[in-house]
Structure formats: structure tokens, C-alpha cells
Amino acid sequence: MQSKKSKENIGITALYCRLSRDDGSDSESNSIANQKRLLSQKAKEYGLTNTKCYVDDGYTGTNFNRPGFQAMLDDIDMGYVSTVMVKDLSRLGRDYVAVGNYTDSYFPDRNIRFIAVNDMVDSDEGENELAPFRNVMNEMYARDISRKVRSAHRIRGNCGEPLSQPPYGYLKSPENKKKWIIEPEAAAVVRDIFRMCMEGKGNETIAHILSDRKIMTPTAYWRERGINRGGKKSQPDPYKWKNSTVGKILANQEYCGDIINFKTYSKSFKNKARIENSKDNWVIFKDIHEPIIERSVFERVQEIKSKTKRRAPKADNGGKHLLSDYLYCADCGKKLWYHTNTLNKDIHYFSCSNYEKDYRGTCKSRHYIRADAVEQVVKLELRRLAGFLRDDEETFAEILSQKTNKDILREQKHLESELNKAITRSETVSRLYEKLYEDNATGKVTDEWFMQLSHKYEVERMELKAKISELRQKLNAIGEMQYGKDAFISAIRKFMQMDTLTAPLLQELIDHIEVYETEGVGKNRTQRIVIYYRFVGYIEIPEVPIVLRDNYIADTRQGVAVEYIPGKSA
């Protein structure tokens, strides 16, 4: 069995060096080269010749998951290391609990000699009473640096400087690193993704299309161009897109030309994990850099994504129907599901997802409607609109103008009323808080009562602040609705040219469609459908030529026909 002295002679002396941005003005004296030079010299003075350097350059001392440090621990566990030497205790780490665990338990349990040169710590000479205090001071230094960095970070973020790396499709400007410029190749992919979403394709479908086209994923794209970004460093297939990646791109408002800061935060300087921040705490600066996606397109995509919970279609359903995301039950308000007849695969239909018998819901009626029938009814209604626009464009535009102006005015009055109430209450709460403070200072209100009421007022004040901000945003959005009339007419003209239904056309024209239960029996069976258009809602069209007013009759099954008639809004 070897003696301790013999083990020291043949064991490795680990010279551990660490440097990070936390070291501030001491970075020169703490440089890796300086640490190596000092530790090598001291190792020779101690007679420790079998040395090996372990280096972590650019790693914080509050986190011990560092590659160099972990490699040293692996060698210690394998029995290769007999001595660990650092410049000072702060190089080992800046978490006094973790550092104390290594110096007081981990190293002694493995018969490892520990030396911190500048702090005059050498475990062979016994315990050092000052070491715990130095560890506490090292952590306090890290805490203070973190506080200063966070403060500077917040100041820069509130001034509109981007705090995050530019997203896929942008690069930092060579002239000004705080500005983003468009990277044409990646930007073209981003535009394709938004276009495919507007066409009705889901995230999974878009991901498959990009993979089939052999388009590199963002991580692979950055790695090929030598851009240091997050993500896996090695990927077996650089062309394998995921639906989550597509979803993140579609939700990224920065593509409109905006800068959004404080999307995430960390709990403390010890825990660097990023946590999603509430949108109320985001700071948004609009139109800072050149947009890749038009704002109207981005907002429409967000509407599409918010309305649909996309699922992979069943194999026997023949894929997703064009109208799947538009049909709703007129009685319970739930979405209609798309089905294929089990006996006749050529028959496709919709029915209420909340039907009480088959789907264990609460809706009393099935609201069955053939897919081909509802498609024909929608085309018929659009032809009626197109005919009205063609025959009397001035009256058509006037009807839309009156309707949009009426709806906008009603909504605007409601929002303004709510905003005035919230502002008034916020001012009242501020006055109440001031009076409470004065009463507490003069002794009229106890400290305990002051703490309870002040907390209550502060919570209400923050809620009112968020509500006021939301109402102002809605009022700003009201102005954009004024342009809905022109967009609606433009979409009708597109239909007049094509006379076919497409996913982009439906997204421009239709908000949702209400389907009622069939009424009557035999030849008198009818079913009402009400179409609500984007921007303008339901439109009641005046009398038009008889050829355009014919109702549609569909054979739902052998011997049974249903006549679909235009509906009137409730």
C-alpha cells in the first residue's frame, strides 16, 4: 500500500483556472495566462511537478456545471488527482455553500490536497478560519456584479436596444451591432412559412415541406455560417424541421420590424435558467428595423393560430377540409368537426363537436351538414356579394361604410368609457394611498393596518395599470378597422376573377359561419346558414337578380334533400 507522500509524488496536481465577465476590472490580473503562470510557479515551489491544467474561460463562478471543472472532478473520481491548486477561492467558485462543500467535504473525503495560493489556504496545514468568510465575500461580490449587470441590462432594454440575438432571417449590422439587417436567404424562408400558414397549412405540414425541400434548420444554418448561437452543436439531419420551430417563427413579432425586450428573466444570479415573462412586462418598440413580414399578415396569422388547435387529420378523412376552421354551431357556439361517412367514403360532413349523444357534450342537436353542400352555399353567397358589387358598387360601399362605422363607433364608445373609469379609479387609489401614508406618519393608522391597506392599494394599482394599457391598445387598434372596408372589397374582387374558394381568400373574407339545425320534414326540410365576414360581420344583401337568389338544394342521402337558405343575423 502506497504512503500519502508516495501518492503525492505520482498523482496529478490539478491547476484549475477560471475567468468570466464577472471579474470586471480584475480581468487582467485574473487572466488565464496569468493564473497558469502563477500556479505553475507555485507548484514547482511546493515540489509538485506532475501538473495538468483545467481551464474554464468565460464561465461564471456561481454555476459549477463548467466543462473544465467537471473534467477535473472526473479525474478526481478516477483517482488520478492528488492535489487541486487555484489562484484564490473565488476561482473555484462564488457560491459559498458549494465552495464550502468542496473544500470541507468533497476534497477531504478523497484525500485531495487543496491549495488557494493568494488566500494562503493549504489543507495540509489544517483548517483556515478565514476561508468561510472569504467565500461569503466572493458570493457577495458576484451578487453585487449581477445587480449592476441587471440594472444596465434594464436601462439598455428600456432605451430600445435589442437585448436578444437577432432571430432567423436577420443579422447584426457590421456598422452597428445594435441594429439588425435582413439576411436575404433566411428571410425568404420566413416569408414562405408565413405564406403557407395563410394558405391553411399547419405547423407539421410546413415542417415536412421545408424538410423535403432540403432547407437547413435555423441552428444548422447558423452553424454553417460560423454564427455562434444556441442549440445542439451536432445534428444527424440538418434539414429536419420541427413543428415547434415553425410555431416559434410564426409567433415572432420581431419579423414586423419590432424590438421586444424582457421576454424572459432569471430568478437570481445563481440560477441562469430563463423563464418566460408575462406579456404585461414586455417592452415593445415598433418599426425599429426593416420588416420581413407585413404587420397585417403577421396579425392575421396570429388570428389563425389563436382560433385553431391543429390536429393531424384522421387517415379516412381525406385530409383537412377548406372550411374546417370556420364552421360553428349556432346553438352552443362550439366548432363543427369534419368527418367521413364510415359506409360511403365519398361522403364528408360536419357535425357539432358538443353533440350530447355521440360526443358526450351538451348540445341537443347534431347540426349535420354535408361538406360539399356548405362549400356550394358559401360560393353562392360570395357570388351574390360579387353580383351586388358589380351591379351597384356605390351602394355596396355605402352599406359597408355604414355597418363598419356603426360597429366601430359602438366599440369605441365602450372602450373609452371603460378607459375613463379605470383612469379615474387609478387616480382615486393614488390619493387614498397618499392619505394612508400621511395617517400612518401622524399615528392615526397603525403600522400593521398601513401594511395591509398599502398592499391592497398596490395590487389594485398594478391591475388598473395593466387594464389601462390593454384598453389603450384596443383603442389604437380601432383605427386599423377603418381600413377593413377596402380590404373586404378587394377580396370580393379576387373572387370575382377566380370564382373558386381558396384558403387565402377565405382568410381574407370570412370570420366564421354559423350552422343551424335542419327544420321541417320531407320536401320542406330547410337549413339556415349565417356567414359573418371579416371586418363587417353579417351583411344583409338587397334584392338581386333571381339567378343569384336561388337557394341550394343538396341530397344528404338517398331520398332526402335539404334546401339551404341564407340566414338573417339574430
- How do residues 71-85 score in pLDDT, each as one tens digit? 999 899 888 999 999
Residue 368 grid cell: 349535420
pLDDT tens digit sequence for 106-161: 998 899 999 998 888 898 887 666 666 565 665 665 566 556 666 666 667 677 77
Instruction: Determine the residue type at 329.
Output: C
In the structure grid, which three cell numbers stand for residue 271, read together? Answer: 440560477
* Higher per-residue pLDDT: 126 or 273: 126
Rounded Cα distance, 311 and 320, in Å:
10
Identify the DSSP state of 99.
Answer: H
* Contact of 503 with 198, CB cutoff 8 Å: yes
Backbone dihedral angles phi then psi of residue 426, each to the nearest 5 degrees: -65, -40
**pTM to 2 decimal places:** 0.46
User: What is Dmax (Cα atoms) for the chain?
Assistant: 109
Say if CB 436 and CB 445 are below 8 A apart.
yes
pLDDT score of 5: 43
* Three-class HEC string of 484-519: HHHHHHHHHHHHHHHCCCCHHHHHHHEEEEEECCCE
Band of the pLDDT at 315, cuts 50, 70, 90? very low
**pLDDT at residue 185, as a whole number:** 92
Question: What is the end-to-end Cα distance of the chain in Å, rounded?
Answer: 95
Residues with Cβ within 8 Å of residue 517, at least 6 apart in sequence: 330, 331, 365, 366, 367, 527
Q: What pLDDT does 194 receive?
A: 92
Nearest to 304 by CA among 425, 203, 177, 388: 203
In the prediction, which pLDDT does 458 show? 78
If you average pLDDT over residues 47-63, what whole number do you get? Answer: 88
Candidate from 25-34, 277-286, 415-424 with smallest mean pLDDT: 25-34
Give the C-alpha separation, 393 to 380, whole Å. Answer: 19
Please tell me whether residue 91 adopts helix, strand or coil conformation. helix
User: In 3D, which of 41, 65, 68 has the Cα closest to residue 56?
Assistant: 68
Predicted confidence band of residue 269 (pLDDT cuts 50, 70, 90): very low
Average pLDDT over residues 64-76: 91
* Span 505-514, pLDDT tens digits: 888 888 889 9
Mean pLDDT of the chain: 79
Count Cβ atoms within 10 A of the Cβ of residue 413 and give its class: 0-12 exposed, 13-18 middle, 19 or more buried. Answer: exposed
The average pLDDT across 448-467 equals 80
Name the pLDDT band for 264 (thresholds 50, 70, 90): confident
Candidate from 298-302, 372-376, 408-412, 429-433 with smallest mean pLDDT: 408-412
- The pLDDT of residue 138: 56
Residue 569 has pLDDT above 50, yes or no: no
User: CB neighbours of 73 closer than 8 A, spacing ≥ 6?
Assistant: none
Contact yes or no for 116/87 (Cβ under 8 A):
yes
pLDDT of residue 443: 81
What's the average model confidence in pLDDT over 234-255? 86
Continuous H helices in 251-392: 295-307, 371-391
What's the pLDDT score for residue 60? 83
